[in-house]
Amino acid sequence: MLDNDDLTYSYQRRSVNNSPERALITLERSQKLDLLVHLLANLQQSLIVCGPDGIGKTTLLETVRQNRKDLWDIVLLRATPNSSFESLVVELLRGLNLKTASAFDINALRDACTRQKVVLLVDDAGDLSPGLLTMLIELADSIPGLRLVFAMSHDQFHIKSGTDKVVEECHFIELPPLNRKQCGEYLQNLSAQPGAVLSFNAVTDNLVEQVYRDTHGIPGKILAELPKLAHYQSRKTARTGLWLGIAAIAAGAGYVALKLMPSEPAPPPEPAPLALAEPAKPAEPTAE
């Protein structure tokens, strides 16, 4: 497999905040889209988009399908354990709207690939039965205008490496998780969406740390946590409101009690000072 870091290429970087790459959340993840498009344009080699469940593999494939259809004929299929080589080819022909093709017509597919490059995106490719990936890759190798992209988890890739050795020759593209800062920005962006279950003010440092620790920065797991976070937020808001209500009631009760309390009685007036009796005047002697 080629190492992503060893592959150099030129492209015009697009801001993650603009147009299709916004769904990919970060600049690093949008650069994986640029890498994928570059490889499809320049390599015959089949590609594998890898990462844990919820990392955004389906979003990446859907972004390619929606926004690069002006370059190529692109068909996105979801694999299942019941998928067969014939059923996948038929679905591919149906997706290309080849009205002249029969139910299973490899020649019609070859003709379509000579007119314009055809890109087949296979999501959940790890669910394909053993040997089927090999058949698809060999088909693509025999048709110059056909490109294949498979999406699977790391565990599925290791399993397929044992059943379909040819996958080790595919170019490997891994989607990175969000770091702690990006996790906080992602939560803030989600809280700003219409109908968001989480308020912007609820996205605190403690909440971001908790979510990052529980989800390891995997966007799908962060989305799965939102209902729990909303429930936690509502309980916290209710508790805060309850304590504010109790405090308000206590303050009101104190005010009423203060108003109803009888005022202190006025101190009794001090008794007036007693008037002292004047001393009796001595009687004057009378003349005899």
The domain segmentation of the chain, as residue ranges, is 4-176, 183-258
Distances (CA, A) of 31 to 12, 21, 132, 251: 10, 9, 30, 58
Q: Using CA atoms, how far apart are residues 88 and 85, in angstroms rounded to an integer?
A: 5
Please give the helix or strand (H or E) that residue 183 lies within, else none. Answer: helix 180-191
Instruction: Find where tokens 């299709």 sit.
Output: 20
Please give the distance of CA 130 from its chain centroid, rounded to a whole number. Answer: 33
Rounded Cα distance, 88 and 123, in Å: 12
Confidence band of 103 (pLDDT split at 50, 70, 90): confident
pTM metric for this prediction: 0.73
Model confidence at 246: pLDDT above 60? no
| In this structure, CATH architecture of domain 4-176 | 3-Layer(aba) Sandwich (3.40)
Average pLDDT over residues 93-121: 89
Residue 100: pLDDT over 80: no
Please give the distance of CA 167 from its chain centroid, rounded to a whole number: 30
What would the pLDDT profile of 114-160 be if each residue is shown by its tens digit?
A: 999 999 999 999 999 999 999 999 999 999 999 999 999 999 999 99
pLDDT band at 274 (very low <50, low <70, confident <90, very high): low
Q: What span, in angstroms and rounded, lies between the C-alpha atoms of 2 and 273?
A: 116
Report strand pairing: 171-174 vs 47-50. Answer: parallel
Furthest-apart CA atoms within the chain: distance in Å = 177
